[in-house]
Amino acid sequence: MSATNTDLTTLTATAAVDAIRSGDCSAREVFDAYRAAAAADDLNAYLWVADDAPSAPSEDAPLAGVPLAVKDLFCTEGVPSQAGSKILEGYRPPYTASVVARLAAAGAPLLGKTNQDEFAMGSSNENSAFGPVLNPWDRTRVPGGSSGGSAAAVAAGSAPWALGTDTGGSIRQPAALCGIVGLKPTYGTVSRFGMIAFASSLDQAGPLTRDVTDAALLLRQMVGQDERDSTSIGFPGEIGRPSAHSLEGIRLGVPEELSGEGLGIDAGVLETFNATLKLAEGLGATVQTCRLPHAPHALAAYYVLAPAEASSNLARYDGVRYGACVEDGGLVGMYTKTRSQGFGREVKRRIMLGTYSLSSGYYEAYYGSAQRVRTKIAEDFAAAFGTFDFVVTPTAPTAAFELGAKTADPMSMYVNDYCTVPMSLAGIPAISIPNGFDGGLPTGFQLAGPAFSENRILDAAFALEQAIGFDASGARRNLG
């Protein structure tokens, strides 16, 4: 391989690191190739693209200069960080989020900022104030959300890897719909400092990559305790490079509550899921039914807890300190017009839901009850992991749906996170890998494990990935 006869954007990030280290190409050549691809993006995946490459990384930088696309939810010093919202349009923070800074120090310079659902509230990337992102497999369909821009950029080949956030499925669900890998780490293992808050007890940063090896490589540099984040607990040990080719001795639990018929999961998605279970058995895994009895209540609990935290976190956007300000001759009028014009419909809906559930006379009935359900869900997972190594489900109930198909019905949009929300409420790690197609569109297979089991999840996902042999080139061909 050499830079003169290979399209560098076809390489996985790990292969690009190896190529730079071997001298087959330079970090500058890799950055320039991706910068050109990002600048030519016509999926609306990017909201900002770097003008030029930074100085070359040190020779021992573990990520070797392979650039990184970053969701608009992360603060980046001097670079627009808008959370997909008009209320922060043009905002350039005076500091950089810890995880972005860690990755830059490890040799992953900022390539661009990616589009997203406003304040990470959405499952289709249609809630962005800057327009929807298109799915590279089919431009008439959504890429998933809220990290849809990051997922689409990786799938389309305009980024080697990307940073996303996951509150109730916002890494895993778009990864499934775009045919890539998405990992939500154990809550607290990656710093939230500088990540614009949606729901602080749920938000977690994670990688979106072309394969499992890339996810492990990026995650290794992301984890770590940060004194600026009081919820940061770091990671015991080091994230290793996955290498398993067998699932011998692995016990997979399949919860009826998240994978059975009659749950609104499309037949094609169930077909690819069951085919993947057969592959797992062929690799030596034991597959049995398990129970998560409180999982059916997860979505309802999530849509009390997350909006409640959002109503508190988004109170800071008042037109006084930073962001948009609509003058009205008086303080109350300024607050009202700034927030009504600055926030989109979905964000206002969730603020109102959250404020209501926290209000006097309703707090215990809604917020308190939801917290108790959250505890029960965590206990269900703990019980399941007493018997099984991993719990496995379809990642999303459908493949990518058409743009506009669910925007008029919030509930039909919310159920896209039915299979991912329980893991978020429990704070446990989960990964989505592409496992096949439904009507020519990719589907995802989700593996979840106990807290801090990322290495074992990555190994199992790697073994399955090799057996599945998913062809991700279709997304790139469709862009031609």
Q: What amino acid positions are annotated as catalytic residues?
A: 71, 146, 170
- For the record, the structure tokens of 476 come out as 């790139």
Omega of the bond leading into 128 within 30 degrees of 0 (cis): no
CA distance 85 to 327: 19
Nearest of 450, 440, 453, 442 to residue 396 by alpha carbon: 442
Cβ neighbours for 42, distance < 8 A, ≥ 6 positions apart: none
C-alpha closest to that of 170 among 190, 143, 188, 200: 143
* Inter-residue contact 427 to 461 (CB < 8 Å): no
Residue 102 sits at φ, ψ, to 5 deg, of -60, -45
CB 102 within 8 A of CB 63: no
Q: How far is CA 472 from CA 266, 274, 325, 435, in A?
A: 22, 20, 44, 11
> Residue 288: how many CB atoms within 10 A of its CB?
11
**Do the strands 204-209 and 286-290 form a parallel or antiparallel pair, or are they unpaired?**
unpaired
Contact of 82 with 91, CB cutoff 8 Å: yes
